[in-house]
Structure 1
Amino acid sequence: MIRSADTLFARLFGGALIAILLAHVLAFIWFTQYAPPPLREAPPESAQHHEPPGPPEDHGPRRPSPWRGPLTVMGFQLLTLVIAAWYGAKALSRPVRRISEAAERLSENLDSPPLEITGPREARNAAQTFNLMQQKIREQMQQRGRMLAAVSHDLRTPLSRLKLRVEKIDDPKLHAQMTQDLDDMINMLDATLSYLNEHRKNEVLQQLDLHSLIESLAENAQDNGDDVQYQGHCKPLKTQPMALRSCLHNLIDNALRYAGSVKIDIQDQANRVKISVIDHGPGIAPELHETVFEPFYRLEGSRNRNSGGVGMGMTIAREAAWRMGGELYLTQTPGGGLTAILDLPRA
């Protein structure tokens, strides 16, 4: 009986029952205290002749008090039921709100603290299930990382042996083709590990001079002989520095690979900061703007030996943007080309 009472249904039903009983009790007390007195019967005519004359009676019309009618009873009941409904709705929404907030924290950080197990039985069961789900997701992510790290480590050894054996091939064309294939495989392993490492990072928000970061990235690219220009100014932004650096680096590298030159435009708004990485390369068809964010996806036109890359740069960039609470999307550059827009919130 005690365990069955420790449920959300029992609490809501008990609260509603108490509210109904309290409404009737209060209405009964109020009605008995302030109800109009009962009408007295007129005395017989014989008794009327023997009564001494009293003061003259006022036979004017009397208005009944508004607090003495049935509306008072209904008012008490309505008030108590409204209060009970408010508390009941609050009791119902509290566990759902706690789970929703925990799910939002989990989407941002797999290592977020577990949900506190409190409340009625249904809420405690839901919290325990949620914590168990979080633990299993964390274990699966760790297991996936360990498995891929082990696979990449084990594959490096035979790939290194193959590269040594390729050096003994006398045919220059076959030697170049096999060397390129081996380099592509090694780059795919490196990109996979980089993606996993970036996905597992959980940085603390810090105040960052975004303008100085973009200036540094542009100067580094210019030192390597690349054409990278930037314009606009931005106030310091509270964000994840490593994630932002990784995102911008991949966007700039992708634009340089296919266009040869990049222009970075900074737009500082009241609540958001937009960073546009603009190129005038071959561009991408609008229907493929979302497809290029898939891991290891490369357009058919870019699948040549000289383009480089394994199709993970845009995936890593979008993952970094999501970790910062922002969005990354693509648009067409006026006059031809592709523009990657990084939209970051200030709060």
Structure 2
Amino acid sequence: MKWPVPDTVFTRLFGLVLAALLCSHLVMTGLFVVFAPDGPPPEAPPPPRAADHPRPPPGERPPHERGERRLPPEFWAGFALQLAAVSLLAWYGARRLVRPIEQLTQGARELGRTLDAPPIDETGPLETRQAALLFNDMRAKLRRQMDERSHFLAAVSHDLRTPLTRIRLRGTQIDDSALQQRLNQDIDEMAAMLDATLAYLRDNSQQEGWEQLDIEALLQAMAEDAQELGQPVSFNGQASQLRTLPATLRRCLDNLLENALRYGGSADISLQQSDTTVEIAIRDHGPGIPAAQLARVFEPFVRLEDSRNRHTGGTGLGLTIARDAARRMGGELYLSNADDGGLVALLVLPR
């Protein structure tokens, strides 16, 4: 049987306090009823006439002579007021105790989206303050590790340009033109990978503010810009403004559109919204991706032989950058093959 209320710490604390209060009042009421002294009412009514009431059996006192344990209405009114007051205090106390746990949960959710999430407040009881302190320390360490990794890879990628330039110059001394051409292609591929790596690291390290964006106007402008360059790109759909990271969203869409044009020849952009999400689908009309490889193509520098090889100019980072950008905005990127051919990249963003 499913409970009508969620099973949370707040519900359990509030229910426990309320149950303890109710039980204590019921016990006290029962003791009062059982052990209250008998006695006639404050003002005994005149004895009834024999003609109005039958004579009681021998050994039993008439109702006007025996004391009855009746709780006055004031008792029940006081009981109700006391129950309401303590229930309100129990609700307030439970909320105060649960609030640090809710902040810790929200902080963990934000940390899963981006390492740039602000630290959580170290408030509440000793245990929750210690948990918040450890969480903030873990977040700072992760941020430092990511910064160190990015700086290290950026330095290595930058320093590799010098030997690549020397290899290119020395390649001009090779007499075999075919070998020289293949060597230059390898150098160009390595340089493109270095450029993509640096761009990927810059995207992860930079911070951007959240802004209201007319996403429909953005997609319409992207489609018109591509059409001016002679690229077959269409757009349909509508949505209201969305609070997002504008540069991150543009970078994500640019990578998806570039992939669709490179490997599918054309792109159809569709936009729709619901009460909680905004969905952007970019479909190409290429060969698609084998179902077993749909998750693998999100890995860095992964290119499929049939559709993504070095001669197409891809580096294998486009989808990686696009998915990281989607998650930085709190959304997710999904890939699927269309029923009638082609690949569909679906970007789902929360409102």
**Aligned residue identity for 2:140:** Q
Asked whether 1:310 is paired with 2:310, we answer no
For structure 2, the residue ranges without an aligned partner over 5 or more in a row are 1-12, 49-61
**Aligned residue identity for 2:37:** P
Output the CA distance in 2 between the equivalents of 1:98 and 1:124. Answer: 11
Distance 1:82 1:251, change over 3 A: same
The 8 Å contact of residues 296 and 310 in structure 1, kept in 2 or not, is answered as yes
Asked whether 1:188 is paired with 2:189, we answer no
The equivalent residue for 1:292 is 297
- Give matches, 1:260-279, under 5 Å: 260-279=265-284
- Give matches, 1:135-150, under 5 Å: 135-150=140-155
The equivalent residue for 2:8 is none
Q: RMSD of aligned C-alpha atoms? A: 3.7
SS in 2 for 1:181: helix
Q: CA deviation at 1:273?
A: 2.4
**Aligned residue identity for 1:323:** R
Distance 1:99 1:271, change over 3 A: closer
Q: CA deviation at 1:82?
A: 7.0
Asked whether 1:60 is paired with 2:60, we answer no
Asked whether 1:105 is paired with 2:77, we answer no
Asked whether 1:330 is paired with 2:332, we answer no
Output the CA distance in 1 between the equivalents of 2:276 and 2:308. Answer: 40
Q: CA deviation at 1:139?
A: 0.8
The equivalent residue for 1:256 is 261
Report the TM-score, using the length of structure 2 for normalisation. Answer: 0.76
Asked whether 1:341 is paired with 2:346, we answer yes
The equivalent residue for 2:57 is none
Identity of paired residues, percent?
Answer: 47
The 8 Å contact of residues 213 and 244 in structure 2, kept in 1 or not, is answered as yes
- Give matches, 1:22-171, under 5 Å: 27=28, 31=32, 36-38=36-38, 59-60=62-63, 63-66=68-71, 89-90=94-95, 92-171=97-176
SS in 2 for 1:211: helix
Output the CA distance in 2 between the equivalents of 1:117 and 1:124. Answer: 5
**In terms of mean alpha carbon deviation, does 277-286 or 87-96 score higher?**
87-96
What do residues 36-93 of structure 1 show as CA deviations (whole Å, max 9, x unaligned)?
43469xxxxxxxxxxxxx997561276531569xx99x99999999778756754553
The 8 Å contact of residues 193 and 315 in structure 2, kept in 1 or not, is answered as yes
The 8 Å contact of residues 180 and 305 in structure 1, kept in 2 or not, is answered as no
The equivalent residue for 1:282 is 287
The 8 Å contact of residues 321 and 328 in structure 1, kept in 2 or not, is answered as yes
Q: CA deviation at 1:150?
A: 0.8
**In terms of mean alpha carbon deviation, does 192-201 or 153-162 score higher?**
192-201
Q: CA deviation at 1:299?
A: 1.2
The 8 Å contact of residues 27 and 77 in structure 1, kept in 2 or not, is answered as no
SS in 2 for 1:321: helix
For structure 1, the residue ranges without an aligned partner over 5 or more in a row are 1-11, 41-53
Output the CA distance in 2 between the equivalents of 1:56 and 1:146. Answer: 101
The equivalent residue for 1:8 is none
Distance 1:78 1:297, change over 3 A: same
Distance 1:318 1:238, change over 3 A: same
